[in-house]
Structure formats: structure tokens, C-alpha cells
Amino acid sequence: MRRRTLLSAAPLAAVTAAGLAACGSGSGGGGSNDSPDSLTYWASNQGTSLENDKEVLTPVLEKFTEETGIEVSLEVIGWSDLQTRIQTAITSGQGPDVLNIGNTWGVSLQATGGLLELGDAEFEALGGRDRYVPAALATGGAVDTDPTSIPLYGLAYGMYYNVQMFEDAGIEPPTTWEEMVEAAKALTDPDKDVYGMSLAAGSYTENNHFAFINATQNGASLNSPDGKPTFTEDGVVDGILRYLDLMQEHKVVNPSNAQFDNGTKSVTAFANKQAAMIINQNNANATIESQGMTPEEFKAVPFPAPADAVDDCASHLAGINLAAMADTDNRDGALAFMKFMTSPETQAELGKPFASLPVLVDGEPTFTDDTEQAEMFMEIYAERSAPLPLVPWEDQFETTVGQAMNSMFAKIATGGTVTREDVVTAMQTAQDSIRA
């Protein structure tokens, strides 16, 4: 079974140089403010709610203002809207000065030309390239190019389980996919509205992540060496069907989960003891605890691969990156803000409430006081994670494949059957739309 070490990795993989056509920008400038004493910042939802994010970030931004004299206008945007808002801002030229992006969007957004290129001069202003974990920084752009984003928060998937439910059933935490399924079956009791697992089965972002992870476990790739999509490869199709079968064949997922359009809803089901297990990124800790579970009531283990897996991948290289708009009217202020947000002090301060993994070399995790759990997630991030395709069409992979899986889960939830041939057809459609 293959393992990987990413934290000290060189550029991850060659990708095609062909990119998306650059979108035009309006003459009004990228930022809503044109004063050197102000910035606009779009933050992604990292905490338990949009309001929680504002509560966490406001004092941090006030420190930046105290240090620099630059006022920051904050807007927190939910994940269901963020990508569309960014694309609209790039097209119109009317957007923020600085923004968070999903790190899997790094190459796609770079290809639009709408984000500020970070060359040697910019990295000097940011404090140097060598501050950042190399593999995390590599998500900021295509190989052998100047990136257009830097890592802000690191994340990795884990499989969370309810300690008491496992102990009462005499079940050990699973180490293989097969053990996970058997545990889920033993803990499923539809009459009590309790299921072995909860999935965000209506979330295209979550679904495409597991299409990738399961395919990687099967030794399959989503793209060819020359950067073309390869979604119909056997390992990709079989990995998707394996994931769908948690609801379809094994019936360990409540069919209502097909309506769960974000990961928070599956976390809520877990916290309410309606599910014994969830597969979520390590920032689930904050949400679980905010809904009443104590740290002693849940644990996490690596998301297990099948016993005969080719690769023990347990997560994609997840996280949030930070970027500036190419046509910001306050370039120096934007770079100063990016440096501040990725300073060791700010990283440590935000790592706890946002349950993030450190993206700085020699950074220490602060999201949990459980040393064993922190080390486990850091090992997944360092050794058992792989980056989603570093190609300009990655965002199209997320939407086409993720939404196809949404539809397949919806079909299963309403009593239909999804066959392997159905998966092949859906992946062919997704692949053809990108190749076109």
C-alpha cells in the first residue's frame, strides 16, 4: 500500500499549461475601498456559523488595524456561495481586496488572471516562501508558475466516532473500510432513527472530495499525465460506487442525508447521537463541541481504506488559501494583511477556534488539547493526503462530479437504484463537458 510524505515535498505533479481564458476586469478596481487606509476582506465560513466567524475574526482584524492603521471591512461568506461570488467578482472587477479561497480552487482561479501573482517581490513582502509548508504552498498555483494564493488554514479528514456507542456495542474503531461498514451496520437502528454513519450526501463539495479519496485508494487518477480528465477509469467509478453503497447497499446512512447540502448538517446529526460516525475535516471539533458533546465523548481515526487498497490515502490535501485581487487598489496593504494573517501569532490564535492545522513550517496545532488526536491529524495531513488535480479545470471537476453524485444519492434516497453503468454514464458526461 502506497504512502506519501508531503510536508517536505517538492512541486507535486506536472500539470497542463493550458488554462482558462482570463476574465476581463472592470475599471473600478478589485477592492471596494480605494484608500490606502482601508481593505475589504472576504472570509470563508470556518467556525460554527457566519456570526461565530465574525466574532472570532473581529478582534484579530482590530489588532491588524492597531499595527498598521489600515481598517478592514469584513464579510464572511458561506461555502455554498463563495465560489460563485469569487467568479463574479473576477469577471466584473468588483470584489474585495483580499479573499479566502478553497485551496483546491488555486490553479483554476490562477488561470483566470483575476488574482495577484506572487513573485519574488511579493514573497519578500510576505516574509519569504520558506515560511510555508511546501506542499500547502504548492496548492497556490500550477507547477513552475508564480502562485496566486498562500496557505492560510490546513485541514484533513478524519473518521469521527461516538465513544459510548462503540463501547456499548463492544466495537473497536475500524482500521479498514470493511470494518467501518460492519461497525456501521451493527450501530444502525432505523426504528430509533439512529444510523451507523451520516454523510453530507447533498453537498457537491463533500461528494467530489470522496470521489477523489476513494479513487486514490484504488490507485486511480482523475487526470492523465497531459492534464486531461479521466473520470471513467475503473478505479474512479468503483470508488464512487463504493461510497454511494453506504446508503444504497449497506443502508447505514439515513436517506434523508441526501438533503444535507453541507458538512455541518452531518456533524449536527452526529452530535445529536443520530449517527455513530461521520467523516469530516478536523474543524468539525468546534462544531461538535458547540452542540453539546464533550471532547471525551468523541474520537477520530484516519478515514479507512479497503483492506486491499493500493494506496492508504485518508484525505485530500485540504485547506483554505488567502489571495489578493489582481486589480486591488491597495496592493501594499493587501500584502501586509496576508503576512499578518499567516504570522505565527495569528495562526496560533485562529487555530483553536477554527480547528485548523498549521500551514507554517514548525507550526504547532492548537485546535485540540488532545495530543494524540493532534498528532493523528498532522500525520494524515503530512503522510496520507494527496492534492486534488492541480489543473485549471479542477473547479469543473468539483461541480460536475460532485453534482452528479448529489443526483445519484437523491435517486437512491427516493427508492431508485444506481448501477455501475449509471456511474460510468455520469462520469462520461462530466468528463466530456470538461474536454469540450
Cell numbers placing 48: 460554527
Q: Tell me the Ramachandran region of residue 131: left when phi exceeds 0, alpha when psi lies from -120 to 50, beta otherwise.
A: alpha
Cell numbers placing 257: 442525508
| Distance in angstroms (rounded) separating the CA atoms of residues 214 and 425 | 18
22 pLDDT higher than 70:
no
DSSP collapsed to 3 states, the chain:
CECCCCCCCCCCCCCCCCCCCCCCCCCCCCCCCCCCCEEEEEEECCCCCHHHHHHHHHHHHHHHHHHHCCEEEEEEECHHHHHHHHHHHHHHCCCCCEEEEEHHHHHHHHHHCCECCCCHHHHHHHCCHHHECHHHHHHHCCCCCCCCCEEEEEECEEEEEEHHHHHHHCCCCCCCHHHHHHHHHHCCEHHHCEEEEECCCCCHHHHHHHHHHHHHHCCCCCECCCCCECCCCHHHHHHHHHHHCCCCCCCCECHHHHHCCCHHHHHHHHHCCCEEEEEEECCHHHHHHHCCCCHHHEEEECCCCCCCCCECCCEECEEEEEEEECCCCCHHHHHHHHHHHCCHHHHHHHHCCCCCECCECCCCCCCCCCHHHHHHHHHHHHHCEECCCCCCCHHHHHHHHHHHHHHHHHHHHCCCCCCHHHHHHHHHHHHHHHHC
The pLDDT tens digits of the residues spanning 229-266 come to 999 999 999 999 999 999 999 999 999 999 999 888 99
Give 361's Cβ-side CA count (13 Å radius). 12
Question: What's the average model confidence in pLDDT over 153-181?
Answer: 97
11 pLDDT higher than 90:
no
- What is the per-residue pLDDT for 204? 93
- What is the per-residue pLDDT for 182? 98
- Let me know: does 396 contact 433? Beta carbons within 8 Å: yes
Question: What's the average model confidence in pLDDT over 48-64?
Answer: 96
- pLDDT-based confidence at residue 395 (cuts at 50, 70, 90): confident
Q: Name which of 343, 360, 200 is nearest 279 in CA terms.
A: 200
2 pLDDT higher than 80:
no
Side chain identity at 135, as an amino acid letter? Answer: A
Identify the weakest region by mean pLDDT among 79-88, 96-105, 229-238, 306-315.
Answer: 79-88
- Let me know: does 53 contact 153? Beta carbons within 8 Å: no
- What is the per-residue pLDDT for 321? 98
- What is the per-residue pLDDT for 3? 45
Residue 345: partners with Cβ closer than 8 Å, 6 or more residues away: none
Residue 247: partners with Cβ closer than 8 Å, 6 or more residues away: 199, 201, 253, 255, 257, 258, 409, 412, 413
Residue 244: partners with Cβ closer than 8 Å, 6 or more residues away: 405, 408, 409, 412, 418, 423
- Burial class of 125 by CB neighbour count within 10 A (0 to 12, 13 to 18, 19+): middle
DSSP strand pairing (150-155 vs 385-386): unpaired
Q: What residues does each domain of the chain span?
A: 38-155+317-378, 156-314+388-433
- What is the per-residue pLDDT for 5? 42
- Let me know: does 31 contact 325? Beta carbons within 8 Å: yes
| Distance in angstroms (rounded) separating the CA atoms of residues 432 and 302 | 34
Question: What's the average model confidence in pLDDT over 13-18?
Answer: 31
The pLDDT tens digits of the residues spanning 311-357 come to 999 999 999 999 999 999 999 999 999 999 999 999 999 999 998 99
> Residue with C-alpha cell 495531513?
381
- What is the per-residue pLDDT for 1? 59
At the top level of CATH, which class does the domain 38-155+317-378 belong to?
Answer: alpha beta
- Let me know: does 245 contact 417? Beta carbons within 8 Å: no
The pLDDT tens digits of the residues spanning 268-295 come to 999 999 999 999 999 888 889 888 999 9
Side chain identity at 11, as an amino acid letter? Answer: P
Residue 95: partners with Cβ closer than 8 Å, 6 or more residues away: 30, 31, 32, 42, 85, 86, 88, 89, 325
- Let me know: does 156 contact 381? Beta carbons within 8 Å: yes
Q: Name which of 206, 203, 165 is nearest 184 in CA terms.
A: 165
- What is the per-residue pLDDT for 34? 54
| Distance in angstroms (rounded) separating the CA atoms of residues 305 and 312 | 6
pTM recorded for the entire structure: 0.81
199 pLDDT higher than 80:
yes
Give the CATH superfamily of 156-314+388-433.
Answer: Periplasmic binding protein-like II (3.40.190.10)
Q: Is it true that 38-155+317-378 and 156-314+388-433 share their CATH fold?
A: yes
Cell numbers placing 298: 468523541
| Distance in angstroms (rounded) separating the CA atoms of residues 162 and 157 | 16
Q: Name which of 281, 344, 364, 347 is nearest 317 in CA terms.
A: 281
- What is the per-residue pLDDT for 342? 97
